[in-house]
Structure 1
Amino acid sequence: MSMRHPVFARLYPMMGRAMERGGMAERRQALLAGVTGEVVEVGAGDGLNFAHYPSTVTRVLAVEPEPRLRQLAHAAAGRAAIPVEVVDGLAEQLPVEDSTVDAAVVTLVLCSVREQEAALREIRRVLKPDGQLRFLEHVRADTPGLARVQRVLDATVWPRLAGGCHTGRDTVAAIERSGFAIERLDRFLFPGARTPSSFHILGTAVRRS
């Protein structure tokens, strides 16, 4: 199930550390505040979320398809204060039984999965009834001009440079179409300048019956 992006996987940890220093660490903290029980983290990357899980979490199953990032996630899991198991797997085929986890976490992942709604339906499958989806993603711009720039980037160079990432997906609509009710939604720019990749959302959705 591995998905190799060797150049991106070497650059991503450096970018991630810079983003953490720039304020993303606080966003991750807000994303995970109050999470409880069994969690599946989809696309765990190099494990930057692991340090932010509260003690109310009993276990995290961290799924990461990129081999180099998965290796780094294993190391981060060893430093985590809560139990974390890191495994290979794809967002569209999670190695999890139906209706068995209390929460699913995605952080800068739904921009890069091959089939966004297929991944969201898979997340819905593994969540218990009323289970939570916690999401922190960059999304479509709020002006027609920047949205057009995003479409051009997504159709040309950006996915090749950024490990399959797409800047302009309407992730909020996709979450709602995939059987979730959004309970909390914060929109923000990161970094503060208005660029094609700076439009972000942070929130919580609940699996609808």
Structure 2
Amino acid sequence: MNTVAVHHPIFARLYPAMSAAMDRGGIAEHRHALLEDASGVVVEVGAGDGRNFAHYPAGVSRVLAVEPEPHLRRLASSAAARAPVRVEVADGLAEHLPAGDGSADTVVVSLVLCSVRDQAKALGEIRRVLTSSGQLRFLEHVRADTQGMARLQRVLDATIWPRLAGGCRTGRDTIAAIEGAGFSVDKLERFRFPDARIPTSFHIVGTATPTQA
């Protein structure tokens, strides 16, 4: 159960057109590569309008898609009905996932760790719900690789950007956060999308597994 309301009515209504445009521009290929060999039980955190659902392969037995924003959750439920695999859409926060300990073979985060309220807590929840041999798959935009652009990201994140973009922060060091939460990064690719040096163009895609205590 979602204990803290997440409601971004304007952003939620703009997001489907934005994500469709991003897919046409090339993000769809990264979504497909992220998910093409996923298998077992999947928890997708921050499913948005369900843009990933069409890319899940037959090896996935079930997807629990968690989305806290009401309008996006309704759109995700419609997308789930058209998905090639079984998808259950649920209300919930990344910091309080509605899934049991060790219940997921795979957790997927796609353009969501930028906007969670508490990134460390969300990653702790991801680690909790994964099996010991499970895998985190991520596609995120992150901190820039130059001081000047990273400085601009900090200014945006401290002022107007989160209010305009549904809580998004442009300059989070998400790889450091993943490793700090007890994961080992197995595969990592960095790319720019769009292919320009703007605050939101620095992306990562890859996989990580829980480190063993």
- TM-score when normalising by structure 1: 0.99
Give distance in 2, aligned partners of 1:107 and 1:25.
Answer: 11
Q: Which amino acid letter does the alignment assign opposite residue 8 of structure 1?
A: F
**Cross-structure match for 1:60:** 63
Task: Please state how far the C-alpha of 1:42 moved relative to its aligned partner.
Answer: 0.2
Does the residue aligned with 1:206 lie in a helix, a strand or coil? Answer: strand
Question: C-alpha separation between the residues in 2 aligned to 1:30 and 1:116?
Answer: 24
After TM superposition, give the deviation of residue 127 of structure 1 in Å: 0.2
Q: Could you tell me how far apart the structure 1 residues matched to 2:67 and 2:147 are?
A: 34
Partners in 2 of 1:24 and 1:143 — Cα distance?
Answer: 23
Matched residue SS, 1:195: coil
Identity %: 67
Does 2:109 match 1:106? Answer: yes
Other-structure match for 1:168: 171
Quick one: which amino acid aligns to residue 132 of structure 2?
P
Q: Which AA in structure 1 matches 2:53?
A: F
**Which position in structure 2 is the counterpart of 1:37?**
40
SS in 2 for 1:12: helix
Quick one: which of 148, 157, 162 aligns to 2:160?
A: 157
Q: CA deviation at 1:165?
A: 0.1
Tell me by how many angstroms 1:130 deviates: 1.7
The alignment of Structure 1 onto Structure 2 pairs a total of residues equal to: 209
SS of the residue corresponding to residue 14 of structure 2 reads: helix
| 1:148 alignment counterpart | 151
8 Å CA contact 1:190–1:198 kept in 2: the answer is: yes
CA distance in 2, matches of 1:154, 1:66: 21
Q: Is the 8 A contact 1:130 1:208 kept in 2?
A: no
Name the residue aligned to 1:82: 85
**CA distance, structure 2, for counterparts of residue 86 and residue 42 of structure 1:** 10
Distance 1:130 1:144 in 2: 37
| Structure 1 segment 192-207 matched on structure 2, within 5 A | 192-207=195-210
Aligned position for 2:14 = 11
**Cα distance between partner residues in 2 of 1:74 and 1:175:** 29
Amino acid at match of 2:20: R
C-alpha offsets along residues 50-88 of structure 1, whole Å, 9 cap, x if unaligned?
Answer: 000011000000000000000000000000010000000
Q: In the alignment, which residue of structure 2 is the partner of 1:51?
A: 54
Offset of residue 207 of structure 1: 1.2
Q: Which runs of 5+ in 2 are unaligned?
A: none
What is the Cα deviation at residue 45 of structure 1?
A: 0.2
Distance across 2 between alignment mates of 1:74 and 1:156: 33
Classify the secondary structure of the residue corresponding to 1:166: coil
After TM superposition, what 4+ stretches of structure 1 lie above 3 angstroms from structure 2? Answer: none
3-state DSSP class of the match of 1:133? strand
Q: Secondary structure at the residue paired with 1:20?
A: helix
